[in-house]
């Protein structure tokens, strides 16, 4: 899961990484209390799970009550890259000498953790210059390696000590919480040469969630996504109007691509897993019936051993139970497909022999 800045900072604080004083809130009443506690000046920071907040106006300086009353609601109402504010963080203003970049990141192709550090931080990672890159196996950073990185960055004295300390703590945090990415950007050198994390990005391995009940509170899922997970499906909500269902992540992605190529807009990505049964397809239709914007359902099932008649039963049952009144455009690869086609004659489900035909039909024939 991907943590918001204030959540990442909660973990940073727990692990002793230096931070400015900050408090998060979800409404202006709470925010006012925090403003008093914190005292002006401070920065109002939108909490969204995407980058580019500053450019979008999601980070605002605030000097007094009047500015607070104006800017807090403004920032709260922003939508950045389609993401609405989850919370607002008020953070003390910093007197910065220099901005560094530091991250520990799972390098998938090298199959090890990698330190990326630079003395020129504060910009997005793609633009960070003079990157120092060190591979560190399962993520454990020794004193030696930490010192080496600090030296290569040209840090000295108190700043070097602060950097080494932060890197070691970030390494411990990454290992213990099983992160795929732990990023501090910028890591600031303050006027007194101490080092502080001004921002934080933290992405954990979802497959290790069962070992981390303490992180459960950071899990953010829509109600439908949560229900899908309970059924053993994976579902991603999208903003179009044709629901895309299939078995296997690759096949559903591929169907999504082809639908988009043909001018369709997917409403969701729903992978029911390797097999397909009457129950699993019925359950998938139940989930889709809860997404209001859906105007048609595109089904792409590749079942080597799946009987398509079994899947056809699920569609028939869904209409019988008034679960859906939407047209279904299905491509079912498997056995007994002639029989399945017969079963569905006269229903609102049409079976096609190729996915291309099913997609064209879905784009043309969705509910108006």
Partner 1 sequence: MTDIFGLLKGKPEDPDYKKKGVIVQGITGAYGSLHAHNMIAYGTNVVAGVTPGKGGQKFEDSVPIYNTMQEAVNATNAKISIVFVPAKFFLAAAKEALEAGIKLLVAIPEHVPIRDTMEALDLANKKGAVIIGPNTPGIMIPELIKIGIMPAMPFKAGNVAVLSKSGTLLYEISDALTNSGFGQSITIGIGGDPINGTRLIDAFEMVKDIPTLEGLVIVGEIGGDSEEMLAQKIIDSGFKKPAVAYIAGRAAPKEKRMGHAGAIVMGTYGSAESKVSMFNKANIPVAKRPAEVPVLLAGKIEKSD
Annotated catalytic residues are 101, 183
Least spacing, CB of residue 261 vs partner 1, in Å: 7
Least spacing, CB of residue 234 vs partner 1, in Å: 4
Q: Which of residues 295-314 bind partner 1 (CB under 8 A)?
A: 302-305
**Among 111, 217, 230, 368, interactor with partner 1 by CB under 8 A:** 111
CB nearer to partner 1: pick between 94 and 236: 236
127 is an interface residue for partner 1 by CB under 8 A: no
Total residues at interface with partner 1 (CB under 8 A)? 53
CA angle 196, 200, 201 (to 5 degrees): 155
75 is an interface residue for partner 1 by CB under 8 A: no
**3-state class (DSSP) for residue 23:** strand
- DSSP secondary structure string, 137-178? TTTPPPHHHHHHHHHHTT--HHHHHHHHHHHHHHHHHHHHHT
The answer to whether 336 and 308 are in contact (CB under 8 A) is yes
Distance CA 98, CA 105 (A): 23
x/- mask, partner 1, residues 208-247, rule CB under 8 A, reads x-xx----------------------x-x-x-------xx
**Among 28, 94, 181, 316, interactor with partner 1 by CB under 8 A:** 181
Q: Which of residues 132-151 bind partner 1 (CB under 8 A)?
A: 138
Helix%, strand%, coil% for the chain, nearest 5: 40, 30, 30
Least spacing, CB of residue 103 vs partner 1, in Å: 11
**Among 290, 356, 364, 367, interactor with partner 1 by CB under 8 A:** 356
State the sign of the Cα–Cα–Cα–Cα dihedral 235, 240, 246, 251. negative
Distance CA 82, CA 84 (A): 7
251 is an interface residue for partner 1 by CB under 8 A: yes
CB nearer to partner 1: pick between 77 and 356: 356
Least spacing, CB of residue 177 vs partner 1, in Å: 11
Helix runs in the chain, H state only: 5-14, 28-38, 65-76, 143-152, 157-177, 223-230, 249-261, 278-289, 308-320, 337-343, 355-365
* Only segment of 13-21, 31-39, 93-101, 203-211 that touches partner 1 (CB under 8 A): 203-211
**Among 30, 69, 205, 336, interactor with partner 1 by CB under 8 A:** 205
Q: Interhelix angle for 143-152 vs 157-177, to 10°?
A: 130
The answer to whether 204 and 194 are in contact (CB under 8 A) is no
10 Å CB burial of residue 75 (0-12, 13-18, 19+) is buried
The answer to whether 12 and 19 are in contact (CB under 8 A) is yes
54 is an interface residue for partner 1 by CB under 8 A: no
Q: Whole-angstrom distance between the N-terminal and C-terminal Cα of the chain?
A: 37
248 is an interface residue for partner 1 by CB under 8 A: yes
Least spacing, CB of residue 85 vs partner 1, in Å: 16
- Chain residues binding partner 1 by CB under 8 A are 2, 49-51, 106, 108-109, 111-112, 124-126, 138, 178, 180-181, 203, 205-208, 210-211, 234, 236, 238, 246-254, 256-261, 266, 269, 271, 274, 302-305, 333, 354-356
């Amino acid at each position: 899961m991907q943590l918001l800045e204030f959540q990442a900072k909660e973990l940073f604080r727990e692990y002793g990484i230096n931070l400015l004083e900050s408090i998060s809130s979800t409404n202006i009443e709470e925010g006012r209390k925090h403003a008093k506690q914190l005292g002006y000046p401070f920065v109002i920071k939108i909490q969204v799970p995407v980058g580019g907040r500053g450019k979008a106006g999601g980070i605002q300086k605030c000097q007094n009550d009047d500015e607070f009353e104006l800017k807090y609601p403004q920032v709260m109402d922003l939508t950045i890259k389609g993401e609405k504010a989850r919370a607002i963080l008020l953070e003390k203003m910093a007197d910065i000498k220099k901005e560094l970049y530091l991250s520990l990141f799972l390098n998938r192709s090298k199959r090890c953790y990698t330190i990326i550090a630079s003395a020129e931080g504060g910009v997005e990672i793609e633009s960070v210059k003079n990157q120092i890159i060190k591979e560190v196996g399962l993520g454990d950073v020794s004193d030696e390696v930490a010192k080496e990185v600090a030296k290569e960055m040209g840090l000295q004295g108190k700043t070097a000590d602060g950097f080494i300390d932060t890197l070691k703590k970030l390494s411990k945090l990454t290992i213990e919480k099983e992160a795929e990415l732990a990023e501090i950007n910028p890591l600031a050198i303050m006027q007194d040469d101490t080092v502080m994390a001004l921002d934080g990005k933290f992405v954990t391995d979802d497959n290790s969630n069962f070992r981390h009940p303490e992180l459960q509170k950071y899990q953010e899922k829509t109600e439908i996504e949560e229900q899908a997970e309970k059924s053993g499906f994976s579902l991603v909500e999208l903003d179009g109007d044709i629901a895309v269902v299939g078995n296997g992540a690759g096949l559903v992605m591929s169907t999504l691509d082809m639908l988009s190529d043909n001018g369709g807009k997917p409403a969701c990505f729903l992978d029911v897993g390797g097999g397909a049964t009457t129950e699993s397809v019925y359950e998938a239709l139940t989930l889709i019936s809860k997404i209001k914007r859906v105007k048609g359902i595109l089904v792409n099932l590749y079942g080597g051993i799946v009987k398509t008649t079994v899947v056809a039963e699920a569609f028939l049952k869904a209409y019988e139970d008034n679960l859906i009144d939407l047209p279904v455009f299905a491509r079912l690869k498997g056995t007994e497909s002639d029989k399945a086609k017969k079963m569905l004659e006269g229903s609102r489900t049409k079976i096609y022999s190729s996915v291309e035909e099913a997609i064209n039909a879905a784009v043309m024939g969705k509910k108006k």
